């Protein structure tokens, strides 16, 4: 018979669930940890469908600190996640991020730049002339007052990082099973107001018990927590990425370049250019269809900015889901105040991948009641109940 009782159950085995499992096992290898993932192929997990960018270019100090921590972890990740001498290959490339700012954005961009500098980040303010000098192909800088260049920002193979956390957590005793949690089991204290978490029911008819459960279900978070009486302001929102091969081949890699409109692009290995943009009309729901008709619009923006990309071929693309926290687009981290033992790691919008290392560690510290190395209480779920947003200007 399968064991039914666990010290911690993690629902969802994407970057957040796997990093949390790893950190729990590292903290105490005697813990019985179960990760329940509905698709161990991760076909629709945001982790596997992201642009995999990591940057310190945020306006909220805690978001910058989280990324600084990620940078440190990614540098040594392959060695640290080795299992029986086999290392994951994560292709961590620090090719830089260039955010372009117009007049309206300038005051906030300057404030963020000063803060990032104070925190010791590798960040430079570039004038339009400097941008042109560095990247002469960026011909149209009309309306641009400057750019912030994070030279240590970069990208990596998200799937390899996910597998790295997962296999290391498994090697230390964490269990991963494929099943879907369909209901949270809770217990209301008789006559009291407090409710505690007890376990979960799954689509395969199993019941698993634990007094500590972590919700790492990404874009599916709100739907699941409803079964425990929680209203979470997290929407699944479709985002699309396009991969093209341009006729013009840049001399070297181009940084992830983000225009004031939110349009972004960067080079990828194999002569590819990746493009994307979050748009108002992006639908809410579990829609993974990729619509290549949007490409015309994006190509227009690219061509207008860098006419050398006049000629290119659309190769492929994909759609994935942002888990958009509609209160403030920031992470929601911690125990739900009205459901004892139930922890949330949700609402990461478009910047969760790089937050995986810090979030996994923080969730572990909360569950094991340890003093956090990095205080992330600003992201506490209380703010959802109090409707008190915390603002971040660097949402893409």
Ligand X SMILES: Cc1cc2nc3c(=O)[nH]c(=O)nc-3n(C[C@H](O)[C@H](O)[C@H](O)COP(=O)(O)OP(=O)(O)OC[C@H]3O[C@@H](n4cnc5c(N)ncnc54)[C@H](O)[C@@H]3O)c2cc1C
Among 9, 24, 31, 52, binds ligand X (CB under 6 A): 52
> Which residues lie closer than 8 Å to 216 by C-beta, 6 or more apart?
10, 11, 12, 13, 14, 16, 17, 20, 345, 346
By the rule CB under 6 A, 159 interacts with ligand X: no
Angle between helices 15-27 and 158-171 (to 10 degrees): 30
By beta-carbon proximity to ligand X, the closer residue of 39 and 114 is 39
Query: Are 338 and 186 contacting, i.e. CB atoms less than 8 angstroms apart?
Result: no
By the rule CB under 6 A, 218 interacts with ligand X: yes
By beta-carbon proximity to ligand X, the closer residue of 113 and 208 is 208
By beta-carbon proximity to ligand X, the closer residue of 183 and 304 is 183
Taking contact as CB under 6 A, which single stretch among the options 10-18, 75-83, 120-128, 130-138 is the one that binds ligand X?
Answer: 10-18
SS3 (DSSP) at 137: coil
By the rule CB under 6 A, 267 interacts with ligand X: no
By the rule CB under 6 A, 68 interacts with ligand X: no
Distances (CA, A) of 30 to 2, 81, 164, 169, 209: 18, 19, 20, 12, 17
For residue 15 the two structure tokens come to: 């970057």
Distance CA 384, CA 376 (A): 15
| Signed CA dihedral, 350, 355, 356, 360: sign only | negative
Please provide the DSSP assignment of 313-381 as one string. Answer: EEEEEEEEEEEEETTTSS-EEEE-TTEETEEEEE--BT--GGGHHHHHHHHHHHHTTPPPSS--GGG-T
By the rule CB under 6 A, 257 interacts with ligand X: no
Report which of 135, 140, 146, 143 is spatially closest to residue 112, judged by C-alpha positions: 146
By beta-carbon proximity to ligand X, the closer residue of 147 and 352 is 352
Report which of 313, 320, 369 is spatially closest to residue 348, judged by C-alpha positions: 320
Q: How many residues bind ligand X, per CB under 6 A?
A: 39
By the rule CB under 6 A, 298 interacts with ligand X: no
Give residue for tokens 């089991």. Answer: 185
By the rule CB under 6 A, 36 interacts with ligand X: yes
Query: Are 298 and 341 contacting, i.e. CB atoms less than 8 angstroms apart?
Result: no
CB of 169 vs ligand X, minimal distance in Å: 14
Q: What is the DSSP letter of 235?
A: E
CB of 242 vs ligand X, minimal distance in Å: 10
By the rule CB under 6 A, 225 interacts with ligand X: no
By the rule CB under 6 A, 364 interacts with ligand X: no
Site track for ligand X across 339-358, x = CB under 6 A: ---------x-xxxxx----
By beta-carbon proximity to ligand X, the closer residue of 110 and 282 is 282
Residues 299-328 that bind ligand X (CB under 6 A): 320-322
Q: How many CB atoms lie within 10 A of CB 29?
A: 11
Among 8, 24, 31, 50, binds ligand X (CB under 6 A): 50
Among 8, 9, 10, 16, binds ligand X (CB under 6 A): 16
CB of 273 vs ligand X, minimal distance in Å: 15
By the rule CB under 6 A, 216 interacts with ligand X: yes
By beta-carbon proximity to ligand X, the closer residue of 109 and 353 is 353
CB of 127 vs ligand X, minimal distance in Å: 26
By the rule CB under 6 A, 42 interacts with ligand X: yes
By beta-carbon proximity to ligand X, the closer residue of 163 and 308 is 163
B/e letters for 275-308, b = 16+ CB within 10 Å, e = fewer, are bbbbbeebeeeeeeebeeebbeebbebbeebbeb
Residues that bind ligand X (CB under 6 A): 11-17, 36-39, 42, 45-47, 49-53, 180-181, 216-220, 224, 239, 241, 320-322, 348, 350-354
């Amino acid at each position: 018979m399968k064991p039914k009782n666990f010290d911690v159950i993690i629902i969802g085995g994407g970057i957040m669930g796997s990093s949390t499992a790893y950190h729990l096992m590292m903290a105490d290898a005697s813990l019985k940890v179960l990760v329940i993932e509905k698709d161990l192929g991760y076909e629709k997990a945001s982790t596997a469908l992201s642009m995999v960018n990591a940057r310190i270019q945020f306006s909220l100090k805690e978001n910058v600190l989280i990324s600084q921590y990620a940078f440190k972890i990614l540098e040594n990740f392959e060695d640290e996640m080795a299992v029986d001498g086999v290392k994951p290959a994560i292709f961590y490339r620090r090719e830089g991020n260039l955010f372009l700012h117009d007049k309206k954005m300038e005051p906030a961009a300057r404030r963020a730049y000063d803060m990032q500098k104070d925190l010791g980040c590798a960040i430079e303010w570039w004038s339009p002339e400097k941008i042109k000098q560095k990247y002469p192909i960026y011909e149209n800088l009309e309306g641009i007052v400057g750019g912030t260049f994070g030279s240590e920002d970069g990208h990596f193979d998200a799937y390899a990082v996910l597998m790295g956390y997962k296999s290391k957590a498994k090697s230390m005793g964490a269990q991963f099973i494929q099943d879907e949690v369909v209901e949270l089991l809770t217990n209301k204290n008789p006559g009291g107001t407090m409710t505690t978490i007890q376990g979960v029911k799954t689509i395969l008819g199993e019941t698993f018990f634990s007094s500590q459960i972590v919700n790492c279900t990404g874009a599916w978070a709100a739907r699941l927590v409803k079964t425990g009486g929680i209203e979470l302001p997290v929407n699944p929102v479709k985002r699309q990425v396009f991969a093209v091969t341009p006729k013009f081949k840049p001399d070297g890699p181009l940084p992830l370049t983000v225009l004031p409109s939110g349009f972004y692009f960067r080079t990828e290995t194999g002569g590819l250019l990746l493009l994307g943009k979050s748009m108002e009309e992006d639908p809410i729901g579990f829609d993974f269809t990729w619509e290549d008709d949007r490409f015309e619009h994006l190509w227009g923006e690219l061509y207008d900015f860098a006419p050398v990309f006049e000629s290119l071929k659309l190769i492929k693309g994909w759609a994935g889901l942002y888990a958009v926290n509609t209160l403030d687009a920031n992470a929601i981290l911690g125990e739900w105040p009205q459901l004892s033992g139930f922890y949330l790691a949700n609402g990461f919008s478009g910047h969760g991948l790089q937050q995986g290392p810090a979030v996994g560690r923080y969730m572990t510290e909360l569950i094991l009641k340890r003093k956090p190395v990095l205080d992330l209480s600003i992201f506490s779920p209380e703010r959802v109940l109090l409707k008190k947003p915390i603002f971040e200007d660097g949402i893409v």
